[in-house]
Amino acid sequence: MTSSAFETVTPDPITYLDRVAATDLGRSYKSRMLDELEIRPGQTVLDLGCGPGTDLSTLAEAVTATGTVIGVDHDQDTVDAARDRTAKQSAVTVRLGDVHDLPLPDHTADRARTDRVLQHVADPAQALREVRRVLRPGGRLVMGEPDWSTLTVDHPDSGLSRAYTQYVTDEVVRNARIGSQLARLAAGAGFAVPAVITVTPVFRDAQAADKILGLERTTRRAVAAGYLTEEAARRWLDHLAGGPFLAAVTFYIVVAESS
């Protein structure tokens, strides 16, 4: 069940995050999130689950020298990478911390962003309550998360597509449907939710999609978990590798305001 068309070795997490950020999709949704943050010079901006600092420099430019950017991540290697990358930027500090229990005082930030973080956390509602605690009244949070149940990978046997998406939704991502749940969760945490924006990237190139989706690696895991047989997985991957290829998934950008 192997196909030389697809990547078989899992990239390390930082390589993967850099790769996503460098795609047209990554650039475009991150730019839209930045627009929605409406950052002004001098503000204090949080990037929660900041990864290796992917967005910290852009945020630092937006707040200018009079503002402050604080990245928070719970993974030490990731924090180290973010600190290295932003060492020359005096506006930026990076802290080791958990979004469920932020290492920040009440009402000290003007803006916050979470970018593909809440899909992984144990308790998104608690994380949102924490963000609300640290934002000032009138503060703004912009969240970006996919809803993996919307993943479509076209195949002549639509049952295989359904099984693949079911596996990703059930087993691969902890909070796989978080994108479409964000508005409700934010309202539950006491935020107003003035805008919900959807972005649906369409992949027409199997190798480009594979770099984001890990098609063969995920298929192997779906077989091991009993969602696809070996024979079905072979038919699935052969068709994806041979094309024509089409995959799409809906990504939600949700704006929340604290009062």
Ligand X SMILES: C[S@@+](CC[C@H](N)C(=O)[O-])C[C@H]1O[C@@H](n2cnc3c(N)ncnc32)[C@H](O)[C@@H]1O
In the complex, which residues of this chain contact ligand X (CB under 6 A)? 17, 21, 49-51, 54, 73-75, 78, 98-100, 115-117, 120-121
- CA–CA gap between residue 135 and residue 104 (Å, rounded): 10
Question: Cβ closer to ligand X: 169 or 229?
Answer: 169
Q: Which residue number places its CB atom closest to ligand X? A: 51
Question: Cβ closer to ligand X: 51 or 160?
Answer: 51
Q: What share of the chain is helix, strand, coil (3-state, %, to 5)?
A: 40, 25, 30
- Closest separation in Å from C-beta 60 to ligand X: 15
Pick from 73, 197, 209, 212: which is nearest to 145 by CA? 197
Question: Cβ closer to ligand X: 232 or 249?
Answer: 249
- CA–CA gap between residue 220 and residue 132 (Å, rounded): 40
At 10, give phi and psi (nearest 5°): -70, 125
- Closest separation in Å from C-beta 121 to ligand X: 5
- Closest separation in Å from C-beta 259 to ligand X: 25
- Closest separation in Å from C-beta 17 to ligand X: 4
Question: Cβ closer to ligand X: 3 or 175?
Answer: 175
- Closest separation in Å from C-beta 227 to ligand X: 23
Question: Cβ closer to ligand X: 74 or 83?
Answer: 74
- CA–CA gap between residue 83 and residue 69 (Å, rounded): 12
Whose tokens are 């009062």? That residue is 259
The DSSP string of 166-177 is HHIIIIISTTTT
